Amino acid sequence: MNPDDIGFLGVRDLTALYRSRKLSPVEVVKAILARIERIEPRVNAMMRLTPEIALAAAKRSETAFMQREKTRLLEGIPFTIKDLQHTKGVQTDFASAVTQGTIPDVDAPCVSRLYAAGGMMLGKTTSAADWGWKGVSEAPISGITHNPWGHGLNAGASSSGAGVGAACGYGPLHQGGDGAGSIRMPAHFSGVYGFKPTHGRVASWPMSNNELATHIGPLTRSVEDAALMTEAMAGPHPWDYTSLEAPPQHYAGQLKAASMRGKRIAYSPDLGHARVDPEIAEAVAKAIKVFTDMGAIIEEVSPPWGKLGPELIRFFWPAVFAARAEYLPQYANRMDPGFVAMLRENAHVTTAQFMQMRTRRFEYVQQIHDFMEGYDFLLTPAVSVAAFPANRLQPAHWPQHDWDWLMWAEFSYPFNWSGSPAASVPCGFTPAGLPVGLQIVGRRFDDLGVLQASAAFEEARPWAHLRPPLAQ
């Protein structure tokens, strides 16, 4: 086998090769680390590598397979962790000069569970600037993470390195976090699969100030790999009091157990308000026909709650980061300029205003859940635009603003607030050859349903075989 192909193998393929002794976990780690070192100068997806950790885990897994011991769910499977997630003894910068050089003394629950499932951590992936505040793959402390389909273009954020790593064959499993679209946006821009489980399905720690809207989930090249990674990370944890009590389901084993025939699916091209570039709208509209061909009942909708979102997100997104304003006197010149502008513009918000808007947001979320009771799934574009230069907050042909990148990401944050499971599925390319994602949203708790719908689309329109130019 060509060593460069090893990083593109999925969990099932790697496990089969281990069992047949045609490949070992140690060989896999060495091959992928070598690939990362070769590809990294083009994409800049890794903050740092952890070869010692990966090789030590690989040797343990290799022994298990050689001695034919009972193996764990992800035995010998490589994974990466986002730079916003705590990793014991491994530098975690949180994408900010303020916290650069932090070395946590504990693993976050999702990390410890990936280890417990037999996984091997290859390293930490890049994130967007200053605690992942924006949807653009750039940070002052790490520079641009380049879209694998076009150097210098936005790869999405804040889980930018995770999406690029998945696209470039840095192994099968990449952990992401999603507070307003930060799994689904990188998936859209890099042409991979991103799954945001129901809020609480995977414990999130330290618990974010993001109004219980931050979700932990996978970015992968296939739905099956995402299902396996979710299963490994999921389950209740005492550090996150919002984590769901239910144990994880065997998601991967049930992906093909449901048909799309007869499913009632809502399709909203704009949620009743969002601007969408024509090339994105066209690719998504073609993807909708795939579900029609599978026998689903599609209803185009303009949900009445959609137009209420923009005012709410432009109030709450700055509020999420308001406490960081204490660092402005010392660090403003080392922070992202847009982040600084956002903090300064919104410094006047009062507690009374916050609580009034919070009441409105709760009402908004109830409307989303009431709407979803009438459908099995909701389909939308994942993002309104294709990849644009990563040194900008908005595409040149869109309205310009000092900090508002949310204008092209209106489809994701509603389902962070609602806690709903949602995925971005690769559904095509623009005429310029840039990926487009279709968002699949499910009812709260129906993680399996979203994974099954994603798998059905993947079977009809496979994408995992595609390799971007910068990954060659």
Structural contact between residues 190 and 167, judged by C-beta atoms closer than 8 angstroms = yes
Q: Is 461 exposed, middle or buried (0-12, 13-18, 19+ CB in 10 A)?
A: middle
Residue type, 243: S
Residue 208 has pLDDT above 90, yes or no: no
User: In the predicted model, is pLDDT for residue 248 greater than 90?
Assistant: no
Q: Which of 24, 61, 82, 96 is catalytic?
A: 82
Q: Calculate helix-pair angle for 278-293, 447-460, nearest 10 degrees.
A: 100
Q: Distance between CA 412 and CA 179 in Å, rounded?
A: 9
Tokens of 270: 């704009």
Q: What does the pLDDT look like over 282-313, one tens digit per residue?
A: 999 999 999 999 999 999 999 999 999 999 99
Q: Are strands 215-220 and 264-267 parallel, antiparallel or unpaired?
A: unpaired
Please check the confidence at residue 247 and state whether its pLDDT lies above 90: no
**By C-alpha distance, which of 89, 119, 181, 84 is closest to 406?**
181
d(CA 170, CA 36): 6
The backbone torsions φ and ψ at residue 137, rounded to the nearest 5 degrees and listed phi first, read: -85, 70
For residue 206, whether the previous peptide bond is cis, meaning omega lies within 30 degrees of 0, is yes
142 has catalytic annotation: no
Average pLDDT value for residue range 46-61: 98
The dihedral over CA atoms of 404, 407, 408, 412, expressed in degrees to the nearest 10, equals 100
Reply yes or no: is the peptide bond before residue 142 cis, omega within 30 of 0: no
Catalytic residue among 24, 96, 137, 182: 182
Average pLDDT over residues 438-445: 98
CA dist 406 and 109 (Å) reads 29
Q: Are 176 and 189 in contact (CB under 8 A)?
A: no
- Residue 335 is which amino acid? M
The whole-number pLDDT of residue 209 equals 86
- pLDDT score, position 69: 87
Q: Which of 62, 75, 78 is nearest to 23 (CA)?
A: 62
Q: For this structure, is 82 an active site residue?
A: yes
Instruction: Tell me how far apart the alpha carbons of residues 109 and 93 are, in angstroms, rounded to a whole number.
Output: 18
The per-residue b/e assignment along 34-65, b for 16 or more CB within 10 angstroms, e otherwise, is: ebbeebbebbbbbbebbeebbbebbbebbebb
Confidence label for 168 from pLDDT (cuts 50, 70 and 90):
very high
- Distance between CA atoms of 252 and 289, rounded to whole angstroms? 25
User: Is 90 exceeded by the pLDDT of residue 13?
Assistant: yes
Q: How many CB atoms lie within 10 A of CB 85?
A: 26
Percentage with pLDDT > 70 across the chain: 100
Q: Work out the mean pLDDT of the chain and round it to a whole number.
A: 97
**Residue 182 annotated in active site:** yes
- For residue 298, the SS3 value is strand
Q: Mutual orientation of helices 109-116 and 223-233 as an angle, nearest 10°?
A: 110
Backbone angles phi, psi at 323, to 5 degrees: -65, -20
Cα-trace Rg, the chain = 21
pLDDT at 211 over 90: no
Q: How far apart are CA 367 and CA 363, in angstroms?
A: 6
Distance separating alpha carbons of residues 263 and 243, to the nearest angstrom: 29
Average pLDDT in the 260-264 region?
98
Catalytic residue among 24, 158, 204, 268: 158
In angstroms, rounded to a whole number, what is the distance separating the alpha carbons of residues 142 and 390? 13
Question: Span 119-144, mean pLDDT?
Answer: 98
> Which helix or strand (DSSP H or E) is residue 394 part of?
none
